[in-house]
Amino acid sequence: MSNEIPRATVERLPRYLKCLEQLIQHKRTISSTELAHLANLSPAQLRKDLSQLGSYGIRGVGYDVEQLQGEIRRELGLTRDWPVIVVGVGNLGSALAAYGGFGNRGFEIAGLYDVDPDRIGDNIQGIEIRSLDRVGRDVAARRVAIGIITTPAVAAQSTADVLVAAGISSILNFAPAVISVPSHVELRQVDLSTELQILAFYLQSRSGESAPRPRDDEP
């Protein structure tokens, strides 16, 4: 069953998928060591993760790139199109509405919502920006399951409340604000500074400016 896969493994699947997508034009098979290297993970971790999907590779050959890609896509639920709505059509919302990386991964922007009367009625890539009041009816009619919040931080919680009331069961929050949702709703928080923090680590360690590390006592 899909839901027996550990959360940490699920979170690594998009990374494996991305590596495989980049490989597919160049290679038919790949060893676990090579794929782990591309994904910046240990081969043991990769083999354990993929074994959760029932993918063990072939001894002496490795994984079939196309087959493994198909298995991960199926496991992630990317073999169908998921309608997604975006609430808050400022710069970030507009960018996501036009982002080239969603369509080919099984996500379709089904609606854009805002509360600003000046924005309502405009359209982005052919999708009309509608009043947030409409979201309840639209979610039911289009069977939308995923809502993306790209409002200012102060509006993030009230937007989440509206989405939950509308029947949305999965929320992706880009606003730099901590929000809470009922336990039946799946919430993911995107922090756009995460990758910058990782870059800062390597910059610091390269420049040798790392502060001496205080050892904690009492294990």
What DSSP character marks residue 62?
B
Nearest distance from C-beta of residue 61 to a copy of itself, angstroms: 9
Stretch that binds a copy of itself, among 56-64, 113-121, 129-137, 158-166 (CB under 8 A): 56-64
Tell me which residues in 171-190 interact with a copy of itself (CB under 8 A).
Answer: 172, 176, 178, 186, 188-190
* Whole-number Å distance between alpha carbons of 34 and 31: 5
Tell me which residues in 78-107 interact with a copy of itself (CB under 8 A).
Answer: 78-80, 82, 84, 90-92, 94-96, 98-102, 105-107
Collapsing DSSP states into helix, strand and coil, what is residue 30? strand
Nearer to a copy of itself, 89 or 162 (CB): 89
Surface-to-core class of residue 80, CB atoms within 10 Å of its CB (0-12 exposed, 13-18 middle, 19+ buried): exposed
Q: Which two tokens stand for residue 161?
A: 């409340």
* Whole-number Å distance between alpha carbons of 51 and 97: 36
CA angle 173, 178, 184 (to 5 degrees): 65
* Whole-number Å distance between alpha carbons of 186 and 145: 10
Nearer to a copy of itself, 91 or 126 (CB): 91
Stretch that binds a copy of itself, among 111-119, 126-134, 157-165, 203-211 (CB under 8 A): 203-211
What DSSP character marks residue 190?
-
In terms of Cα–Cα distance, which of 61, 81, 77 is closest to 5? 77
From first CA to last CA, the distance across the chain in angstroms is: 39
57 binds a copy of itself (CB under 8 A): yes
Nearest distance from C-beta of residue 141 to a copy of itself, angstroms: 18
Tell me which residues in 114-143 interact with a copy of itself (CB under 8 A).
Answer: none
Nearer to a copy of itself, 107 or 113 (CB): 107
Binding a copy of itself by CB under 8 A: which of 117, 126, 183, 206? 206
Binding a copy of itself by CB under 8 A: which of 26, 40, 118, 126? 40
10 binds a copy of itself (CB under 8 A): yes
